[in-house]
Amino acid sequence: MSAFATAKTEFGFLFGESSHAARVPHGVADVTVAGLPVERVWFYRATVTGGPGVRAEHLLLNAHHPTLAKAVREPLGAFLAQTFADTNVAFVLEDSEGHAVVEGDGLVQ
């Protein structure tokens, strides 16, 4: 059995255009991604290790507040998967304490 450990986490907002003005609270990442097909989207990024030489990057995006339609999620997910190579991209469609619906790589759970 393999044990997983989160090596690094980061959360914040991805923006399509840079700005000199403060757009996020202190401690929240403000990341500009040129060509982003939406104005902004909340993200959580984690690097997970599963043993020597085993590492995975995960980018989880909020798709329920504000709601991102499937017609927006599909090109956004493809764009980010290409922009952040070797990163798993997924969307949180709904969440509440103890429950979440996540979509990514053709999977909804």
Spatial strand order of the sheet with 40-49 comes to: 29-32, 5-15, 40-49, 55-62, 87-96, 99-104, 107-108
Q: What is the pLDDT of residue 1?
A: 44
pLDDT tens digits, 10-31: 999 999 999 999 999 999 999 9
pLDDT in tens, 84-106: 888 889 999 888 787 888 888 64
Q: Going by C-beta distance under 8 Å and a sequence separation of 6 or more, which residues neighbour residue 47?
A: 6, 7, 8, 9, 55, 56, 57, 58
What's the CA gap between 97 and 67, in Å, rounded? 19
The pLDDT tens digits of the residues spanning 36-66 come to 999 999 999 988 877 677 778 889 899 887 8
**Can you list the domains of the chain with their CATH numbers?**
5-108 (3.40.20)
Q: How confident is the model at residue 2 (pLDDT cuts 50, 70, 90)?
A: low
